[in-house]
Copies of this chain bind each other. A is one copy, B any other.
Amino acid sequence: MSPTRRLTKTGSSSSESSKVESKSATQPADKERIRKIYIDDPTSGLTIPFKEVLLSSSTSTTTVDHSEEQSLLLYDTSGPAIRSGEGLPPLRKPWIVERGGTGHPVTQMYYARRGQITKEMEFVALREGVDAETVRTEVAEGRAIIPANINHPESEPMIIGKRFFTKVNANIGNSSVTSSIPAELEKLRWATRWGADTVMDLSTGPDIHTTREWIIRNSPVPIGTVPIYQALEKVGGHPEDLSWEVFRDTVIEQAEQGVDYMTIHAGVLLSYIPLTVPRTTGIVSRGGSLMAAWCLAHHQENFLYTHFEELCEIFARYDIAFSLGDGLRPGCIADANDKAQFAELATLGELTEVAWQHDVQVMIEGPGHVPLHKIAENVQVEEELCHGAPFYTLGPITTDIAPGYDHITSAIGAALIGMYGTAMLCYVTPKEHLGLPDVQDVKEGMIAYKIAAHAADLAKGHPLAQRWDDALSRARFEFRWEDQFNLSIDPETARAYHDATLPAEPAKKAHFCSMCGPRFCAMKISQDVAEMAAGMGISEKEAIEIGMAEKALEFRETGAQIYR
């Protein structure tokens, strides 16, 4: 490897600024060609984490020469190794201290609107391969957020907005029925290992505070919560006993711990509740159903709505982002895009403007369950009603007939809604609707959603997205099996599936696999065909104009034996 390398910086005005140095975290053995790498950017003084996949030499003689492509750098969310009992290093602490911030909001939006590019914005720009000014503009305009509570300095900055990589959130958290703190930490580790960009701790059981403390101190990604869950525990589980005061205190408690964004179901208005009565599955958001119950029991407007400005003031002091909850999202195909959902969305748009007046960052939660033909409308309506605030959707699930496979039913919807501009996708695991996910479910959900997010990025034309597909496709065509495995989203599984039928080491260099066997490998034959065509010296245009008969005749004399 070269000790110096270049970060691909699209839109960077200075080539100098993209010079970086590598600090390899581990020395790769022959078979350990995937590694975590930190790259120093001398201009900003920042060190950016990546996953690096070292490639073997391209053998292709028939396609464009990519032999200089010695490795591929990929966006990495796995964070530093967890140090038992210590928590992660507080990466952002000096930046936060340096900025100070008494007497004004400390939010990324506040700085962005005043023209200041924070270290967080620079970090994000280097991770995404865009320039920092683009990041600043998107945050200033409210089209993107950088969730970054000043009390969670351990997080590596990331951005949620349609102009950037489509992000994936993983939900973890115990319930009163099952799970434990070590199990939740393991889920956190697995989620970020498999690419979670943020993690929501949805714990509802005992030890909510302690569980969250462990999670935040060990999380390299922003942590989201739904504070109403803990508030409900505080009032003994009785929704009608909830109050603004209990809720406010819970928010401050979580803010102090470092929660980066909070789901607030402030759009579940009293007058919207009857809209859910004709539905097939009523209200399916936990927070939404709790607030609906409170509103009905108290014959009062939702206290999250009436006290929203006070929430903004708290959020501004910590830089907590709103994740405005879709408490009235549809819970089945039949209820998709109905009046209840869109009524709430209009209110979320109104609240977005209030938050922005306080320089508080906002994203908007979305469904849920939506058939394919109604997905585009969701994004269009959200962008219009919510003034371009980033959209953050749960799936959506595109059919209700497959419990046990809702990571797939919803990855379909997630890819589509991502293509249309949703900025972050909340994963759904195979256990959705059936039980609490375990670590294996977390992995399955994450992989399905990283696929969906990446498919969306390809469709949106993210400048760095297609490089990954191209590198893998070239490895495939050139029978560089180890490169193909290592470039896979899940190298172990790819290797294991290959080895299930062809375990021997020579098969890793073979020009076929068990799928077709040696004689029927299209890629093998196709390489021969390409060599034949190249050997004849035919250009594409020429071939079409003159037909190939004469040239083929010429080749027949010398080349036909390559098929034998």
B-binding residues in A (CB < 8 A): 62-63, 175-178, 204-205, 229, 232, 237-240, 270-271, 273-286, 288-290, 292-293, 295-300, 331-334, 371-373, 398-405, 407-409, 411-412, 415-416, 419, 430-436, 438, 447-448, 451-452, 454-456, 458-460, 466, 468-470, 472-474, 476-477, 484-485, 487-490, 493-494, 496-498, 500-502, 513-523, 525-530, 532-534, 538-540, 542-544, 547-553, 555-556, 559-560, 563-564
Contacts and interface: CB of A to CB of B under 8 A. Distances in A.
The 3 closest A-B pairs by CB, nearest first: A299-B552, A274-B543, A282-B526
A515 to B, nearest CB: 5
B332 A490 contact: no
Given A281-B523, A563-B239, A468 B401 contact: yes
A431 B499 CA distance: 11
Nearest to A497: B434
A165 B488 CA distance: 34
Given A298-B556, A550-B299, A563-B240, A280 B63 contact: yes
Given A239-B563, A292-B526, A494-B434, A405 B178 contact: no
B540 A275 contact: yes
Contacts of A517: 175-177, 204-205
B501 A435 contact: yes
25 contacts: A62-B277, A176-B518, A229-B520, A274-B539, A277-B538, A286-B521, A288-B522, A290-B525, A332-B477, A333-B470, A372-B419, A373-B460, A399-B454, A401-B489, A404-B488, A404-B490, A404-B497, A408-B448, A409-B451, A411-B412, A412-B455, A431-B515, A433-B476, A434-B515, A436-B501
Contacts of A277: 62, 530, 533-534, 538, 540
Find the residue from A297, A300, A331, A550 having the highest chain B CB count within 10 A: A297
A551 B277 CA distance: 15
Contacts of A279: 63
Contacts of A520: 175-176, 204, 229, 232, 286
A536 to B, nearest CB: 8
A471 B494 CA distance: 38
A280 B411 CA distance: 27
A549 B299 contact: yes
Contact of A280 (B286, B459, B468, B474): B474
B448 A519 contact: no
Contact of A435 (B290, B292, B500): B500
A349 to B, nearest CB: 18
A256 to B, nearest CB: 24
